[in-house]
Chains A and B, each alone.
Chain A
Amino acid sequence: MNLADIQKIAEQEVDFERAYKYRINVCCSSGCVPLGAFKVLKAFEEAVKEFGVEKECKVAKTGCVGTCSVGPAVIIEPGDYLYQNVTPEKVREIVRDHIVLGLPVKSMLYGNPAFFKKQHRLVLRNAGKIDPSRIQDYIAMGGYSAIVKCLATMTPQGIIYEVATSKLRGRGGAGFPTGQKWSLVARAHGKPKYIVANLDEGDPGVFANRTLAEADPHAILEGMLIAAYAIGAEKGYLYIRSEYPLAIQTLQKAIAQAKSLSLLGDNVLETGFKFDVELRFGAGAFVAGEETAILASVEGRRAMPRPRPPYPANSGLWGKPTLIQNVETLANIPIIIQNGGAWFSKIGTPRCTGTKCFSLTGKTNNPGLIEVPMGITLREVVFDIGGGVPEGRKFKAVLVGGPSGGCLPDALLDLPIDYDSLTRVGAIMGSGGIVVLDDHSCMVDTAKFFTEFCVDESCGRCTPCRAGLIRVKEVFDNLTQGNARMEDITTLEKASSYIRDASLCGLGQTAPNPVLTTLRYFRDEYVEHIRDKTCRAGKCFKKEERGATP
């Protein structure tokens, strides 16, 4: 296999696809599988035979389309007709009407085009379009052409320059400029150098990275290859939590296929460049996603963060220079190389370029996985893409950034989503969770819930996070049981600021965000809990009745 062979595979595959008039893409990702996606897939395979249209229709299993709440989802191309809640019983009708008669079944189509209208799918460019278990599908979509371009025509410095020009920033949460990180590792002394791709995704309710791996694993691998060539690494570890069995299977298969086409190995595409990827499995600790903890875990030690310096760029795995990068960041790399950094830098806002994937959950009409340009407002996400709050309830807050994000009120709905704006109002980008809350939610109870999560996930190394968060949680117990005093608000503020400023790693530093933002934007509710012993959402003070009324 050499550089030209990849081009040949792409051409063959495109010809092969052209032989089909229709392509039926059945989502077989983690959201749709429990809803019966494999039965639907089988029903389509049988139905096209039954109607004698198997020569015209390619039935493929693909990754997530994003509309997971109305799965199983099926897309019929051409025309991108998206069918929702497909069951094996409905399949015959779809094949008969749509394929045989050429009449899409309107009543079964996804009825909410607004969900897609404001999205911009770059990272998820292939999600729902290709079969993730076939490397040829990825290659046909232009996949691996970026690494071919790098190996054939670009220098490592040239690649780093393109990435820097794109102004891409890390999607794992902190938003560090990716080009700058690469040049730090490239310049660092010491050999060998390593890459760690971060797919730990420990935030509850967030599934963007999992979806990416299940839908388009080769985009991650190609990003790793390009990074490796640019910084001079020969070995990469892809760290993924073991709770993601389908993503693991998909990646294992993808790595094996890439090896068989000599895209990974001792002599990548006969150029002499050497790079291999190994999977490493996490055991489910949230803190294991922190960059120094992930290093310890890859080395086989307890996933506990350590103070920096030294920074992983200089002293990472086994003391060697190491590039740690989120998988979504990596999946952006191939398109930056294909289209140029300048092209990428025009998407989003001038300081925050590109797009971001979010898991949109909570009290929203259209939960699912979305990808939006940086700079889109919260209002557009919650009301246009999300379709507002269901059952005529009133919007109350939106939690951005996972368990250590901020709870933002409706007054901030016009805030653009980018790293800097979010930080300014007390939230964070985090790894991409947006949870919509309606007036059924008590903000005190919400802050308590996330504090409890961080108490459980603290590694125990530093005093503020280990010995402080639990005390904050106890103040919340008092608040929600009617035992709090006014001074407790001051205690919460003091302890939270201390934990934020004094903790060793990002977990402790961001854990107080839900507390601090609810105190800032929903202070009235705290006062009501203390002074009047009432909870306007009806959540607190009535343990035994909990769950009895809606």
Chain B
Amino acid sequence: MTATTVTLKIDGLEVTVPEGTTILKAAKDNGIIIPTLCNLEGLSPYGGCRLCLVEISGSPKLFPACITPVSSGMEVTTQSERLTEYRKMAVQMLLAERTHICSVCVANDHCELQSLANQLGVDHVLFERNWTRLEIDSSHDFLVIDRNRCILCTRCLRVCDEIEGVHTLDLKLRGKDAQVIMDLDEHWGNSCSCTSCRKCAKVCPVGAIYIEGEPVSHTKHKDIAEFITERRQRKWKQ
């Protein structure tokens, strides 16, 4: 740990954390939970989902807590009417973007998007919903991807690249058309780089990547990235 620390206020609570810590981590270590979707401890930050936006006094802008480092004297607000409104908006946009029907989803009751919608009190979707019919790939022996449930958080890409170290997964196309692909857009069963390590399924926050025949509650293990990273650094948690 670095010797230098920084003192700041989060929701009025004075906290002291090592320099370079993100607002998200500083808050979490002090019992303040900020909603997140794309961020995962142990993986590089992505800053895509925008659920973790917070206010910093003195600036009209919003800041992603998962990336913004703390600085001395900062006053962070993690809960406000505007932030709740905006978080609900993000969840609604994600729900409307692709085919999310919780009742027929493998991840029902074990889905981070669903539980965020619950927590935030999203009781309707402001927009007309889009029912995508993207390709479902079940060519792998046991891994399945249903791209209609993907929220493009790229956790799977990052765990495959940064932890497993093979970079089987990447994105093709851009914007609303972006999709997770294997190798150079191969079927998963034909991928020559995939080691079948299952990490992508473990970290997927929704029911997009899952293991055939296995309850999602059993598959999901999103601490895997942090766990492996810490072991590699020879750090052992008490």
Give A contacts to B, CB under 8 Å.
Answer: 285, 287, 302, 306-307, 309, 455-468, 470-471, 474-475, 491, 494-495, 498, 501-504
Q: Is the CB of A502 within 8 A of B50?
A: yes
Find B86's partner among A456, A465, A501 (CB 8 Å cutoff).
A501
- Determine whether B176 belongs to the interface, using a CB cutoff of 8 Å to chain A: yes
Q: In the complex, what's the smallest C-beta–C-beta distance from B151 to chain A, in angstroms?
A: 8
Q: Is the CB of A504 within 8 A of B175?
A: no
CB-defined contacts of B152 to chain A, threshold 8 Å? 460-461, 466
Find B175's partner among A302, A309, A455, A491 (CB 8 Å cutoff).
A455
CB-defined contacts of A455 to chain B, threshold 8 Å? 175-176
Cα of A468 to Cα of B49 in the assembled complex, Å: 12
CB-defined contacts of B174 to chain A, threshold 8 Å? 285, 287, 457-460
Q: A461-B152, A491-B126 are in contact. List 20 more A-B contacts (CB 8 A).
A: A306-B47, A457-B174, A458-B175, A460-B171, A461-B47, A466-B97, A466-B178, A468-B93, A471-B93, A471-B96, A474-B127, A494-B89, A494-B126, A501-B61, A501-B62, A502-B53, A502-B62, A502-B90, A504-B47, A504-B48
- Determine whether B69 belongs to the interface, using a CB cutoff of 8 Å to chain A: yes
Interface residues of A, dominant DSSP: helix
User: What are 15 A-to-B residue pairs whose CB atoms are below 8 Å?
Assistant: A458-B175, A460-B178, A463-B48, A463-B94, A467-B93, A467-B94, A467-B97, A468-B89, A471-B127, A494-B89, A498-B86, A498-B90, A501-B62, A502-B62, A502-B89
Q: A471-B127, A471-B128, A474-B128 are in contact. Are A466 and B49 (CB under 8 A)?
A: no
- Determine whether B45 belongs to the interface, using a CB cutoff of 8 Å to chain A: yes
Cα of A464 to Cα of B93 in the assembled complex, Å: 7
- Determine whether B67 belongs to the interface, using a CB cutoff of 8 Å to chain A: yes
- Determine whether B64 belongs to the interface, using a CB cutoff of 8 Å to chain A: yes
Q: A467-B94, A467-B97, A494-B126 are in contact. Are A461 and B48 (CB under 8 A)?
A: yes
Tell me which residues from 52 to 68 in chain B have a Cβ below 8 Å from any Cβ of chain A: 53, 61-62, 64, 67-68
Cα of A459 to Cα of B176 in the assembled complex, Å: 8
Q: Is the CB of B47 within 8 A of A309?
A: no
CB-defined contacts of A461 to chain B, threshold 8 Å? 46-48, 152
Give B contacts to A, CB under 8 Å.
Answer: 45-51, 53, 61-62, 64, 67-69, 85-86, 89-90, 93-94, 96-97, 126-128, 130, 152, 171, 173-178
CB-defined contacts of B175 to chain A, threshold 8 Å? 455-460, 465-466, 470
CB-defined contacts of B48 to chain A, threshold 8 Å? 461-463, 504
Cα of A457 to Cα of B173 in the assembled complex, Å: 11
CB-defined contacts of B94 to chain A, threshold 8 Å? 463, 467
Cα of A455 to Cα of B177 in the assembled complex, Å: 10
Cα of A471 to Cα of B96 in the assembled complex, Å: 8
Q: In the complex, what's the smallest C-beta–C-beta distance from B91 to chain A, in angstroms?
A: 9
CB-defined contacts of A456 to chain B, threshold 8 Å? 175
CB-defined contacts of B93 to chain A, threshold 8 Å? 463-464, 467-468, 471
Cα of A455 to Cα of B174 in the assembled complex, Å: 10
CB-defined contacts of A458 to chain B, threshold 8 Å? 174-176
| B82: nearest chain-A partner, CB-CB | A501
Q: Is the CB of B89 within 8 A of A491?
A: no
Cα of A463 to Cα of B85 in the assembled complex, Å: 15
Q: A502-B50, A502-B53 are in contact. Are A466 and B176 (CB under 8 A)?
A: yes
CB-defined contacts of A502 to chain B, threshold 8 Å? 50, 53, 62, 86, 89-90
CB-defined contacts of B86 to chain A, threshold 8 Å? 498, 501-502
- Which one of B50, B69, B97 has the greatest number of beta carbons of chain A within 10 Å? B50
CB-defined contacts of B177 to chain A, threshold 8 Å? 460
| A487: nearest chain-B partner, CB-CB | B126
CB-defined contacts of A457 to chain B, threshold 8 Å? 174-175
Q: Is the CB of A309 within 8 A of B176?
A: no
| B37: nearest chain-A partner, CB-CB | A463
